[in-house]
Amino acid sequence: MKSILSSLVLILMAFNLLAQSSSKKYNESENLIDWPAEFDPKASDFYVHNEIEINASPEIVWNLLVNAKDWMEWYDGIQNIQFEDSSQTALSPNAKVFWNSMGQSLNNEIVAFEPYRSLSWQFNEKKIQGMHAWVIFPTATGCKVITDESQTGSLAKLQKIFLPNKLRKQHDNWLYVLKQEAELIAQSSAEIN
């Protein structure tokens, strides 16, 4: 039985290394996020990086990102969005917003809010803590969007072993549908003008 468990652990470790190779590793020299010490990707339990080029202005992308109550219309990775202030519909500095993602209820607080440039929130649950950051910067054809997430806690450790690509794929999907929505808005605006 002991050898079976040892073999299983080795297989899981090998699988984890192979799975992680498809995700961009943290590179401190390319980092654009001001990480608090507890979520520094060099020391966190789990980290993912995703990015995409979008043929729409940073303003269009920003407006889609901060209007959280509308996310469920175009993105299915987050459900049951509720703001602490029930009259609020958009993210704002220090706002508290609750949602479900990947089967987990998360209480999020906005910790960085620089319009058209950067947005970050932190969550602190019993079994998982993390920070999800977004950076937008202009390009010749629109903008580039980077989203990084760094997590700690027992669920983050389990995710790294058993589901190492799930969050990366969820963020890839989020960026893809963000691109679709933003480019549709940009195209509609161009046709009107």
**pLDDT computed for residue 14 by the predictor:** 41
pTM of the model: 0.84
DSSP string of 130-178? EEEEEEEEEETTEEEEEEEEEEESHHHHHHHHH-TTHHHHHHHHHHHHH
Instruction: Give the pLDDT confidence of 47-106 residue by residue, as tens digits.
Output: 999 999 999 999 999 999 999 999 999 999 999 999 999 999 999 999 999 999 988 899
Domains of the chain by residue range:
2-192
At the topology level, CATH places domain 2-192 in Alpha-D-Glucose-1,6-Bisphosphate; Chain A, domain 4 (3.30.530)
- What percentage of residues in the chain have a pLDDT greater than 90? 74
